[in-house]
Amino acid sequence: MDLTHVLKFYFITDENAPDGSLLKQVEIAIAAGATMIQYRHKSFSIKAFKELEAIRELCKRHSVPFVVNDNIILAKAVDADGVHLGQADEDVSIARSVLGPDAIIGLSVSTIEEFEKSAVSFCDYIGIGPVFVTDTKGDASPVIGLDGLRTVAEKSPFPVVAIGGIDASKAGACFSHGADGVAVISCITRAEDPLRQALELGRACGCRPRVLRIGWNNEFVLIEKLITGAPSSDSIVFGSILSGLKVPPGDDAALFETIINPVITTDTHKENTHFKRVWQTLEEIGQKAVEITFSDLAASYARPVSLFVNLSIPSYLCDQDIENLYSGIRRVLNKYGAPLGGGNVSSGREFSIDLFAVGEGHPDIFPLRSNARPGDGLYVTGSLGLASAGLQCLKNNETGYPELIEKFKSPKARFDAAKVLSEHKVACVMDVSDGLAGDAGHIAKASNVSIRFEPTVFKIDSILAKFCNKYSLNPEDVMLAGGEDYELMFACQPEIFEQIKRKIPEAFQVGACILFSGTPLMNVPAGVVSFQHGIKKIREIKI
Ligand code: TZP
Ligand code: MG
């Protein structure tokens, strides 16, 4: 994780302030634009746990990373984003094994010797200090000074945050001596006017103030908002008039018009597994969730009839967040003319969006993964690998490829391509969500054939090619491994494909189905691992 920007304005709570006032301190810091918060309370007792939880919620609501000082177990218990350890605390490697690969782990060093002997390989950033004299930490080491800061910063492979006696007037010197951020306590907490000092420091760090947001609190109002504005009109989708619902949402259940061949699918979208609020707006998250749920309908030759939405909403989200999520959901429902069937909202620890889509299937064909035959070619309806490359851009603050990021954020269900495939009676179709290699494996196994990939004939998107060139990646590997493109993959006779290609020019061949030869997938480059829906897990195309 690249923490360079996250460390800029790092606020640490002051335990010496009056009881119960730590939440207020954090509110001030966040309002002033703090980019990271550390809960530091050396004499923590369980009585303070509620306040600790409230601080964690506040940070999540504003997407500000939150770490706990010293105590790995406390960090785990409160579901913090990580922990900050000192030289006398548990080893960094233990924190990593307890908190996991995504946890933010910081380590304090006060001399270059300490830095050199520390297990820095497991940590994500280094805290260096005290850079200036401070009264806040009784047992602080001798001052390392600005030159000491520069020496450690130059040697550190990780971002560094300067600490100790820093205020708005000294922040600039820390940045110019190699710090990526400044960590402060007393310049805010012991100021006569804490908000003013915090705002001054925010300005010195180049951080913008924020408007504080309050959590959502009325389930019924939220359901009402979801229902209002969802489409109910007749629309033309996928070539036919939408019949929709006889009884719209609002009752205990929805009553549908007659559906011939009902097709039903469901999908779960969980924060930090399928999406991150720092990368996508709530509106984009809502849109993407519906598109990828509908993508399963497209892959089944079904037209969308209705959608049911179940939300688990943690208290760190506010009404406006949910409103934005709904407007993304509604936008896609409007696009397809599919009315909302109903929904439910409950409070929960995790933010998750469960969608149930109802569709009407094709009168004659329901495409199956098991319908590939030896002699068929294996094809896709468009570019692959772009979404996973876009995800890497987001993870690494790479801004040079907005088209790739757009592909990750805004996939589209390929109803247009499905219509063409159904007209040509293609009987084996699925959408590529987990990556070409992984999804082709499903077809091979279900159809009892072997699939031999033909990377030499892959059509490589020009922007993906540039991205791969920059990061020394093999574009064919990225196309095989990367997921979330939501193109359709299909198997059919080569003559049929020639006809399809006239209507879907972006379609191309990725492989051939042959008699089962003992292994489902052939010609898979070494090291290509299928994309898993764990944002952290796609190491295979790490840049
Ligand atoms: N570690 C080194 S100096 C210090 C810590 C926790 C105290 C920083 O507090 P202040 O008030 O910003 O000097
Ligand atoms: Mg410590």
459 is catalytic: no
pLDDT of residue 327 exceeding 80, the answer is yes
- Give the pLDDT confidence of 52-66 residue by residue, as tens digits: 999 999 999 999 999
**pLDDT-derived band of residue 200, with 50, 70 and 90 as boundaries?**
very high
- Give the pLDDT confidence of 425-461 residue by residue, as tens digits: 999 999 999 889 989 999 999 999 999 999 999 999 9
**118 C-alpha vs ligand 1 centroid, how far in Å?**
20
Six token digits for residue 378: 């294996």
According to the per-residue pLDDT averaged within each range, which of 182-191, 220-229, 234-243, 313-322 is highest? 182-191
**394 C-alpha vs ligand 1 centroid, how far in Å?**
32
CA distance 28 to 17: 14
Give the active site residue among 137, 150, 288, 369: 137
* pLDDT of amino acid 163: 97
CA distance 144 to 160: 14
**151 C-alpha vs ligand 1 centroid, how far in Å?**
19
**Ligand 1: which of 132, 134, 143, 170 to mutate, most ligand atoms within 8 Å of CB?**
134
Taking the CB of residue 424, how many other CB atoms lie within 10 A of it? 15
Q: Is 166 in the pocket of ligand 1 (CB under 6 A)?
A: yes
- Minimum CA distance residue for ligand 1 atom 4: 164
Check: CB of residue 1 under 8 Å from CB of residue 124.
yes
Ligand with minimal distance to 131 CA: 1
Q: Is 186 in the pocket of ligand 1 (CB under 6 A)?
A: yes
- Minimum CA distance residue for ligand 1 atom 11: 186
Check: CB of residue 152 under 8 Å from CB of residue 160.
yes
Listed in sequence order, the residues at least 6 apart from 509 whose beta carbon sits closer than 8 Å to its beta carbon are 377, 378, 379, 454, 457, 497
Check: CB of residue 474 under 8 Å from CB of residue 524.
no
CA distance 504 to 532: 28
* Helical spans, DSSP H, in 64-155: 72-77, 92-99, 112-117, 145-155
* Helical spans, DSSP H, in 142-193: 145-155, 168-176, 186-189
Q: Is 163 in the pocket of ligand 1 (CB under 6 A)?
A: yes
- Give the pLDDT confidence of 347-391 residue by residue, as tens digits: 888 899 999 999 999 999 999 999 999 999 999 999 999 999 999
Q: Is 130 in the pocket of ligand 1 (CB under 6 A)?
A: yes
Check: CB of residue 423 under 8 Å from CB of residue 409.
no
Check: CB of residue 412 under 8 Å from CB of residue 482.
no
pLDDT of residue 332 exceeding 80, the answer is yes
Least confident among 245-259, 331-345, 419-433? 245-259
Give the active site residue among 61, 108, 315, 409: 108
- Give the pLDDT confidence of 10-55 residue by residue, as tens digits: 999 998 887 778 999 999 999 999 999 999 998 888 989 999 999 9
Query: How is residue 142 annotated by DSSP?
Result: P
**Ligand 1: which of 39, 42, 137 to mutate, most ligand atoms within 8 Å of CB?**
137
Across residues 312-340, what is the average pLDDT? 90
Check: CB of residue 65 under 8 Å from CB of residue 6.
yes
Q: Omega before 130 cis (within 30°)?
A: yes
pTM above 0.85, yes or no: no
Residue 370 gets the label, from left (phi > 0), alpha (psi -120 to 50) or beta, of: alpha
Across residues 161-173, what is the average pLDDT? 97
* pLDDT of amino acid 80: 97
108 is catalytic: yes
Q: Is 181 in the pocket of ligand 1 (CB under 6 A)?
A: no
- Which atom of ligand 1 is nearest the CA belonging to 137? 7
- Which atom of ligand 1 is nearest the CA belonging to 129? 2
**208 C-alpha vs ligand 1 centroid, how far in Å?**
23
Give the active site residue among 8, 40, 56, 412: 40
Check: CB of residue 256 under 8 Å from CB of residue 246.
yes
* pLDDT of amino acid 243: 52
**75 C-alpha vs ligand 2 centroid, how far in Å?**
13
Check: CB of residue 36 under 8 Å from CB of residue 9.
yes
* pLDDT of amino acid 109: 94
DSSP assignment string, 213-259: ------HHHHHHHHHTT---S--EETTEE---EEE-BTBSS-EEPP-
Across residues 113-135, what is the average pLDDT? 87
Angle (nearest 5°) at CA 305 between 302 and 307? 110
**Ligand 1: which of 9, 10, 11, 12 to mutate, most ligand atoms within 8 Å of CB?**
12
CA nearest neighbour of 360 among 459, 457, 258, 460? 258
Cα atoms in the 13 Å half-sphere on the side-chain side of 382: 19
**71 C-alpha vs ligand 2 centroid, how far in Å?**
8
**160 C-alpha vs ligand 1 centroid, how far in Å?**
15
Across residues 252-268, what is the average pLDDT? 88
- Give the pLDDT confidence of 230-247 residue by residue, as tens digits: 555 444 344 333 456 776
Check: CB of residue 383 under 8 Å from CB of residue 456.
no
- Give the pLDDT confidence of 460-473 residue by residue, as tens digits: 999 999 999 999 99
Q: Is 106 in the pocket of ligand 1 (CB under 6 A)?
A: no
